[in-house]
Amino acid sequence: MNPSTRRAQPPSSLPRANQGFAWVWSLLGLAMLAFAAWCVKIDYEIRRDFEALQWELPARIYARPLEIYAGAHVSAAQLTDQLRRLGYRESSELRNPGEFQTSGNRVSLWTRGFEFWDGAEPSLYVNVEFDGNRIREMWGDQRTGMVPLVRLEPAEIALINPGNGEDRVPISLEDVPPDLVEAIIAVEDQRFYSHFGVDPIGILRALVANLRAGEIVQGGSTLTQQLVKNLYLNREQTLRRKAEEALMALALELHFSKDEILTAYLNEVFLGQQGNRAIHGFALAAEFYFSRSLDELSLDELALLAGLPRGASYYNPMRFPERAVERRNVVLARMLSQGYISAPDHEDARAAPLRVNARAPRQNAGYPAFMELVRQDLARDYDAEALRTEGLRIFTTLDLHVQNTMEATLEEAVKAVERPVSEGKLEAAVVITDAVTGEVRAVAGGRQRGYAGFNRALNAVRPIGSLVKPAVYLAALESGRFTLASVLSDRPVTLQSRGAPAWSPSNYDDKIFGDVYLHDALERSMNLATVDLGMQVGLDKVGEMLGRLGFEREVPQFPSVLLGSVDMAPVEVAQLYQTLAGNGFRSPLRTVEAVTTPTGEPLERYGIETEQVVDTASMYLLEYALQGVFERGTAQTARNRLDASLPLAGKTGTTNDLRDSWFAGYGDDLVGVVWLGNDDNSDTGLTGATGALRVWTDIMRALDIQPRLTIPPANVVWQSVALGPVRDGAQRDCRLTTSLPFLPGRLPDPAVNCEDDGSFMDRLFNRFGDF
């Protein structure tokens, strides 16, 4: 053929094909570059984020630890109740920390030890022998001998959770029981130590097992993939997310060790839910489900926890015990087949009963009134973000025995005094403090146990009635112008104040007693005599005394203040009577004892602060009258029920139209304030004696309040005075006398002094006849 006759080829056909291939290669190259950039980005982010991994940790709030020692006012029932609350198990033989046994009047226990703000409390074996409601003696084993003091670990009472609701107790790998690690490896990722983040063999094995079973019985994700999913990814089920998960797992394994990855998994994995609180990590799960630490759990209990990551809600042992046991047994079977446990260990663990808590421990719901006071105290030094995220450990002054006993008594005690004439539902508030330190031991914001509404103990600001009178009488006694035998006028009076209407006070029962002794006027709460005294002392001096006792707001300068026309919350009243119980030494009420980091390093120690604001001699004279309130005055009705605890000191209080019923009193160990009233400020039908006193008595009797044993100052002398003051110019009658304490230079007026009448034996008999 002639070449010239050949058909000409299209000049552009080959270049166009080559051009198409070029575009494909270009796109492929760009895709590979994008993928490489994506991988680099993932690698960078994984290294950055995992190295900086730091969980938001809630603040943990602890109650006051129970301290036991020879002579301590602690009963065997109180000790065993606290041990059970802490998750101790009763056992016939003590083999491990967290166990106890009882035998007659003896309790033997093996404590766990705890890292307190002031140092570590070691784990100890100790025998405690009781004599009634007191500890007789304590001893350990042959090595330790007699044990002087044991401080149990404190109970956790509340959390201040981060915004995401997650809660965990971080733990290092060396503190995790080997059985738990082996159980997790066996059931979740048996090739964990040999794969590189993604396990193709595991994926194939899971696929075959699932096809054979006709359902999903195994997962193909490695522990590393699960960790990545929990830390960085959402729940979206797409190919892109699965690819991202695999790449992240590869990057994690490339830069971090297996131990680092496993530690993060053990702390991150979700294992349960309690309301808006998410339980993360195995250390917290052990406490949540068993009230015990990981190292105290048995093989069967560890296997149960290891089975939860598959579905913490579905296998929740508190709600679905059968499912939980079935899953636990699957874990045990895997451990046996992979050689982690022996056949006898497998059989023993498989036969073990389920021993989880019957219900989840309460958090943030048990003591809301006390917790509100704690938050107020913490707000002075810590912002809200630090409390929610930094894992602070906050040690409080709450005494669980006092709080729970008070709560168990309060509702029935209020019911017993509630009157049909009351127009509303009678409410209550209670504050109990330590008589020496000012530490708040218990708070109730309402009559109902665990009431979480309006906190009346802190926020119900009401007139305090006759609870103000000790401040009036103390100001008088300290002035040096008055003694317990000073004669006051209990007669009608009308007082006029600038800018206020005329005021004509009266006694509660409208009786008039005429001339009365100062101590008698306080003991029997005589209003007219108190006004007489207060006007002589001066309203400014009474207001100053209230400030010295601890009242921080301004006191109005009206005569009605002398009878309690000053508004206070129960916690403010508790501060006043705390200073009285402290013999004139004011210790600010406090709820927080110390704050530490999550690992125990001290951050803040709130020690006892005390200041003498009243001389002890004047306080001793006042307390004679406050004890007389029980002996001869408005609290006499409580004598029979509190006989074993007497002497005690206290004061009743009632406000106009019976709107408020108050009682404040103290012994050697406790100060207690009780308020009763209606939220609408209507008539309760109760006086301080018929309402609050009876509730206070029921609570303090249940707490076995200790008698008030006040040592008289060295300069106090006792003198005999006529039983009643001279009236209408009559001669003193020293045939009947009473003995009262006085200070040198402030002896009784000759008109009532009987010290020089009669024989020495008569005076001696009269003096001791009052005891």
Q: How many domains does the chain have?
A: 5
User: Residues 650, 750: one domain?
Assistant: no
Q: How many CB atoms lie under 10 A from the CB of residue 718?
A: 14
- CATH number for position 491: 3.40.710.10
Q: Are 642 and 622 in contact (CB under 8 A)?
A: no
Q: 519, 549, 565: which is the final residue of a domain?
A: 565
Long-range contacts of 475-479 (CB under 8 A, 24+ apart): 475/537, 475/541, 475/542, 475/544, 475/545, 476/518, 476/533, 476/534, 476/536, 476/537, 477/518, 477/618, 477/621, 477/622, 478/545, 478/614, 478/615, 478/618, 479/537, 479/541
* pLDDT of amino acid 359: 67
Structure tokens at 414: 């209020």
Q: Residue by residue, what is the 3-state secondary structure of 509-541?
A: CCCCCEEEEHHHHHHCCCHHHHHHHHHHHCHHH
- 269 and 321 both lie in a single domain: yes
Domain of 76, CATH number, reads 3.30.2060.10
Q: Is residue 711 part of a domain?
A: no
Whether 39 is covered by a domain: the verdict is no
Domain annotation covers residue 29 = no
* pLDDT at residue 165 in the model: 79
Of 543, 565, 587, the domain-final residue: 565
CA distance 395 to 114: 12
**491 contacts: CB under 8 Å, gap ≥ 6:** 512, 514, 528, 532
- Regarding whether 486 and 593 lie in a shared domain, the answer is no
Q: What stretch of H or E contains 654?
A: strand 649-654
Rounded Cα distance, 540 and 187, in Å? 77
Pair (229, 292) in one structural domain: yes
Cα dihedral sign for 172, 174, 180, 183?
A: positive
Q: Is 439 helix (H, G, I), strand (E, B) or coil?
A: strand
Q: How far is Cα 354 from Cα 329, in angstroms, rounded to an integer?
A: 12
The answer to whether 713 touches 617, Cβ cutoff 8 Å, is yes
Same domain, 702 and 731: no
Same domain, 601 and 522: no
Amino acid at 145: G
Give the pair of three-digit tokens for residue 3.
């070449």
Q: Domain containing 208 — which CATH number?
A: 1.10.3810.10
Q: Which residues are catalytic?
A: 188, 466
Query: Residues 255, 172: one domain?
Result: yes
H-assigned helices in 256-367 = 258-268, 282-290, 299-306, 321-337, 343-351
Q: Which of 442, 427, 471 has its CA nearest to residue 661?
A: 427
Find out whether 158 and 196 touch, Cβ atoms under 8 Å.
no
315, 413: one domain: no
Euclidean distance between CA atoms 430 and 367, whole angstroms: 13
Rounded to whole angstroms, the Cα distance separating 693 from 667 reads 14
Are 199 and 295 part of one and the same domain? yes
Q: Tell me phi and psi for residue 488, to 5 degrees.
A: -115, 160
**Domain annotation covers residue 727:** yes
pLDDT of residue 770: 41
Whether residues 473 and 583 fall in one domain: no
Residue 228 falls inside a structural domain: yes
Asked if residue 361 is part of any domain, the answer here is no
pTM: 0.85
The residue length of the chain stands at 771
Regions of the chain where pLDDT drops below 50: 1-9, 11-14, 757-771
Helix then strand count (H, E) for the chain reads 23, 30
Range of the domain at 595: 53-61+367-444+455-464+570-706
Q: Specify whether 602 is located in the same domain as 724.
A: no
Q: Quote the pLDDT of residue 757.
A: 47
The reply to whether 264 falls in a domain is yes
**Cis previous bond, 647, omega within 30:** yes
The residue written with tokens 């609050």 in the block is 692
Q: Check whether residue 459 and residue 481 sit in a common domain.
A: no
Residue 161 vs residues 157, 167, 313, 379, 388: alpha-carbon distances, Å: 13, 7, 21, 16, 5
Q: State the Cα–Cα distance between residues 247 and 168, nearest whole angstrom.
A: 27
15 in any annotated domain:
no
